């Protein structure tokens, strides 16, 4: 309500502007922000999927590249000619050179396979010469971690960054121990992988992609400045350094980025490689941001034009409304009332309102002539109303006169010792007073029973010992509310038809209330009077079902009670009559649970 009042206090021009902003601008902004965020999410998701696919493709192609040196290492480990060349004892350098010339398998592998950059076998044979294929390990080589690890892995393959003595360049290399023919002679085979080939594979990727070994040395990358560095120098995120597979979000150089990692562990290897691809979210959404900025400029331009149009339309509307308001003010002040005429063109609501205003002014001028005549009739009506008020006051005096008269009779009977007569007069006075005070609302069961008790006491004064009554009221039902004059007509019916038609013996009337399982209250009026024949009971049931029956004159009958129950509590709360001729009659009705309402939804 406060919001509506505040809205009504705003000028129409501002109200139209606010309406336009609320209806057009705000939804446009919300939808734009929502669609922008969705566009960013879709682009990031597509890019992430592309990066994942790229990493998988790089892993497969890298696996194809390193499979060649892996197969060569298997062939060389079973090459007896190479083992013979490496393990025999030579007498002279000439013999060594001739043997090297005769064994050309290593040179052939390098020449035939572009995946291999170099092959060398480190063997501790002092009679051999170093020809960059068969080499004697010096003390520095023997202390290298890769050399010692290869000797301890019993023929398993290892991958890592190894320096080639020829050009002092580090290559991704396969290292493997090879047992020679002589017992106790162990050699280490090193096969350099063609790094240029790996870099060419990675160069096809649009994101920063690299291959690292198990020591996080970057062995291949599409960013040349990173080659040969350790991954810890580039990324400080622990997951990038340690996680073998998966994808996650990181902050690189203070910007939100995504990382995709896939591991590659070749067959029969004690370690493997990891392919890592990273991309910044800002780089991905850069094109989308350009589109968004362009769309924002277009939207802002359209909004400015729309606001100008709305302002012009609002000004046109408000100017016409102000003219109408001024003419209404003239009518309100009474100046120029008779000759006030408003001329607003247009067939819209404002033009229609102006025409209705002119018609209203003409109608008022006609009504003014009728006011004087109506005033005269109004004064006459007020006189008649005052007469009605006096009559109402007089009607209120009559009951008081009756009660005062009955009280005088009761006191006179009491003074003469006629206690029974005094008691009867008192019961009659109470019964009349309660009946007159009954309104259209509901009363408590205890109040209804007080009227019934007064009525029964009056009847006992008449019938003496032929009439007995008993009240059996269940606990918790005294405060139940019900319409007035529900039980007394039923008790009256028991006396008239049960007692008067009974030839001999006393008649006992029992008024009983019972509390049902679901909170409903059952009221029973039972007598042992003359009873009702079966055919008459059926006739009574038919009369109760009729829509418009004829009610008995001068008293409130069964039909009246039955209809009031059904109208108040529903169709299930009407009267139920059980009677046997010569045995008595029982009339029952039900008050549903929750009887504080006017119409009840609970059936009895």
Residue 286 backbone dihedrals phi, psi, to 5 degrees: -60, -45
d(CA 52, CA 64): 19
CA distance 229 to 213: 11
Distance CA 81, CA 121 (A): 13
Considering the chain, what percentage of its residues have pLDDT values greater than 90?
A: 16
**Positive or negative torsion for Cα 420, 425, 428, 433:** negative
Domain membership of residue 185 (yes or no) is yes
pLDDT in tens, 581-592: 888 899 999 888
d(CA 376, CA 430): 48
Phi, psi of 526 (to 5 degrees): -120, 135
The 10 Å Cβ neighbour count of residue 473 is 16
Query: What are φ and ψ of residue 152, in 5° steps?
Result: -90, -5
What pLDDT is stored for residue 157 in this prediction?
A: 93
Mean per-residue pLDDT, 7-30: 73
Last residue of a domain, one of 284, 305, 337: 284
- Report the alpha-carbon distance of residue 90 to residue 87 in Å, rounded: 9
H or E stretch covering 247: strand 246-252
Token readout for 23 is 């209806």
Give CA–CA dist 342/434, Å, rounded: 65
Q: Distances from the Cα of 544 to the Cαs of 240, 548, 572, in angstroms?
A: 91, 9, 13
Q: Tell me whether residue 433 is in a domain.
A: no
Range in 66-70, 316-320, 596-600 the model is least confident about? 596-600
Q: Give the tens place of pLDDT for each residue, 521-557.
A: 899 999 988 888 888 888 888 888 775 555 444 345 7
- Pairwise CA distance, residues 327 & 127, whole Å: 126
Helical (H) or strand (E) element with 363: helix 349-415
Rounded to whole angstroms, the Cα distance separating 103 from 108 reads 10
389 pLDDT band, cuts 50/70/90, is very low
Question: How many percent of the chain have pLDDT more than 70?
Answer: 78
| Distance in angstroms (rounded) separating the CA atoms of residues 534 and 74 | 116
Query: Residue 289 falls within a domain, yes or no?
Result: no
Domain that holds residue 541: 469-591
In this structure, how many other beta carbons lie within 10 angstroms of the beta carbon of residue 441? 9
In total, the chain counts a number of residues equal to: 604
Domain count, the chain: 2
Least confident stretch, 57-61, 275-279, 316-320, 576-580: 316-320
Token pair for 143: 């202390």
Q: Which of 284, 315, 342 is the last residue of a domain?
A: 284
Sign of the alpha-carbon dihedral angle for 589, 592, 594, 597: negative
Query: What local confidence, expressed as pLDDT, does residue 244 receive?
Result: 87
pLDDT digits (tens, 9 = 90+) for 212-264: 998 999 999 988 888 888 888 888 788 888 888 888 888 877 778 888 999 99
DSSP state of 272: -
Phi and psi at 556, nearest 5°, equal -90, 115
Neighbouring C-beta atoms of residue 408, cutoff 10 Å? 11
559/551 Cα distance (integer angstroms): 7
- Is residue 395 included in any domain, yes or no? no
Q: Report yes or no: 7 and 15 within 8 Å, Cβ to Cβ.
A: yes
CATH number for the domain spanning 148: value is: 3.30.450.20
Residue 438 has pLDDT above 60, yes or no: no
> How buried is residue 122: exposed, middle or buried, by Cβ count under 10 Å (0-12/13-18/19+)?
buried
* Residue 448's pLDDT band (cuts 50, 70, 90): confident
How far CA 501 is from CA of 366, 512, 536, 553, in Å, comes to 73, 23, 15, 21
Quickly state the pLDDT bin for 39 (edges 50, 70, 90).
Answer: confident
Q: How far is CA 122 from CA 66, 113, 150, 173, 402, in A?
A: 21, 21, 11, 14, 140
CATH of the domain at 487: 3.30.565.10
Structure confidence by residue, pLDDT tens digits, 166-203: 888 889 999 999 888 766 678 999 999 998 999 998 88
Task: Report yes or no: 557 and 489 within 8 Å, Cβ to Cβ.
Answer: yes
Indicate the pairing of strand 443-444 with strand 481-482: antiparallel
Distance of alpha carbon 350 from the chain centroid = 44
Both tokens assigned to 405: 């008269």
Residue 274 backbone zone (phi > 0: left; psi -120 to 50: alpha; other: beta) = beta
Q: Look at residue 204 and tell me if it is in a domain.
A: yes
Task: Round the CA-based radius of gyration of the chain to a whole number and report it.
Answer: 57
Residue for token pair 């009840």: 600
Confidence of residue 599 (pLDDT cuts 50, 70, 90): very low
Tokens standing for residue 344: 């607003």
CA-to-CA distance for 286 and 219, rounded, in angstroms?
31
CB-based contacts of 588, cutoff 8 Å, min separation 6: 522, 523, 524, 525, 575, 576, 578
Of 249, 269, 284, which residue sits at a domain end? 284
Q: What is the pLDDT of residues 400-427, one digit of tens each?
A: 445 555 555 656 566 666 666 766 666 6
Q: Where are the beta strands (DSSP E) in 133-205?
A: 134-135, 158-164, 169-179, 186-193
How confident is the model over 475-508, as pLDDT tens digits? 888 888 888 888 888 888 888 887 777 767 778 8
Cα–Cα distance measured from residue 112 to residue 75, given in angstroms and rounded to the nearest whole number: 15
Cα(71)–Cα(82) distance, integer angstroms: 16
As given in the structure block, the two tokens for residue 435 are 């009946």
| Other beta carbons within 10 Å of 312 | 10
- Judged against a pLDDT cut of 80, whether residue 472 lies above it is answered with yes
Query: Which residue, 144, 148, 139, is CA-closest to 186?
Result: 148
Q: Establish if 439 belongs to a structural domain.
A: no
Q: Is residue 551 part of a domain?
A: yes
For residue 182, being part of any structural domain is answered with: yes
């Amino acid at each position: 309500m406060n919001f509506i009042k505040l809205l009504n206090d705003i000028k129409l021009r501002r109200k139209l502007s606010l309406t336009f902003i609320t209806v057009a601008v705000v939804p446009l902004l919300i939808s734009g922000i929502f669609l922008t965020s969705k566009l960013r999410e879709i682009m990031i998701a597509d890019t992430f999927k592309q990066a994942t696919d790229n990493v998988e493709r790089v892993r497969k192609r890298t696996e194809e590249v390193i499979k060649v040196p892996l197969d060569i290492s298997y062939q060389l480990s079973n090459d007896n000619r190479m083992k013979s060349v490496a393990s025999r004892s030579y007498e002279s350098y000439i013999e060594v050179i001739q043997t090297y010339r005769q064994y050309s398998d290593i040179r052939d592998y390098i020449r035939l396979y572009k995946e291999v950059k170099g092959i060398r076998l480190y063997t501790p044979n002092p009679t051999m010469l170093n020809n960059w294929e068969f080499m004697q390990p010096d003390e520095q080589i023997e202390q290298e971690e890769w050399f010692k690890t290869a000797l301890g892995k019993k023929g398993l393959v290892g991958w890592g960054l190894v320096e080639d003595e020829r050009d002092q360049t580090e290559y991704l290399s396969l290292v493997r121990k090879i047992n020679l023919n002589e017992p106790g002679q162990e050699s280490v085979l090193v096969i350099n992988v063609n790094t240029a080939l790996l870099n060419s594979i990675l160069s096809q990727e649009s994101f920063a992609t690299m291959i690292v070994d198990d020591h996080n040395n970057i062995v291949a990358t599409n960013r040349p400045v990173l080659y040969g560095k350790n991954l810890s120098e580039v990324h400080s995120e622990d997951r990038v350094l340690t996680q073998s597979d998966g994808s996650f979000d990181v902050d690189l150089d203070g910007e939100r980025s995504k990382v995709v990692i896939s591991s590659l562990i070749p067959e029969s290897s004690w370690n493997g490689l990891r392919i890592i691809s990273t991309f910044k979210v800002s780089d991905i959404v850069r094109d989308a941001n350009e589109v968004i900025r362009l769309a924002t400029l277009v939207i802002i331009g359209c909004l400015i034009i729309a606001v100008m149009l709305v302002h012009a339309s609002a000004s046109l509307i408000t100017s016409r409304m102000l003219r109408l308001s001024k003419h209404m003010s003239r009518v309100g002040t009474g100046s120029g009332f008779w000759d006030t005429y408003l001329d607003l063109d247009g067939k819209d609501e404002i033009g229609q309102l102006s025409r209705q205003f002119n018609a209203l002014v003409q109608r008022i001028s006609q009504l003014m002539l009728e006011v004087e005549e109506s005033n005269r009739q109004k004064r006459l009506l007020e006189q008649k109303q005052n007469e009605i008020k006096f009559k109402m006051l007089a009607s209120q005096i009559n009951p008081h006169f009756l009660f005062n008269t009955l009280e005088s009779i009761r006191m006179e009977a009491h003074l003469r010792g006629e206690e029974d007569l005094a008691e009867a007069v008192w019961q009659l006075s109470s019964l009349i007073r309660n009946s007159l005070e009954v309104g259209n609302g509901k009363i408590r069961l205890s109040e209804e029973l007080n009227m019934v008790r007064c009525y029964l006491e009056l009847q006992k004064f008449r019938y003496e010992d032929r009439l007995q009554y008993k009240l059996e009221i269940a606990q918790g039902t005294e405060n139940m509310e019900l319409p007035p004059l529900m039980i007394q007509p039923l008790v009256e019916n028991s006396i008239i038809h049960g007692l008067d038609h009974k030839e001999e013996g006393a008649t006992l009337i029992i008024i009983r209330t019972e509390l049902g399982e679901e909170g409903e209250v059952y009221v029973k009026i039972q007598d042992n009077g003359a009873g009702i024949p079966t055919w008459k009971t059926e006739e009574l049931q038919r009369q109760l079902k009729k829509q418009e029956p004829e009610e008995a004159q001068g008293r409130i009958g069964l039909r009246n009670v039955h209809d009031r129950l059904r109208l108040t509590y529903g169709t299930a709360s009407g009267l139920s009559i059980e009677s046997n001729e010569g045995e008595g009659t029982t009339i029952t009705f039900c008050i549903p649970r929750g009887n504080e309402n006017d119409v009840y939804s609970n059936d009895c």
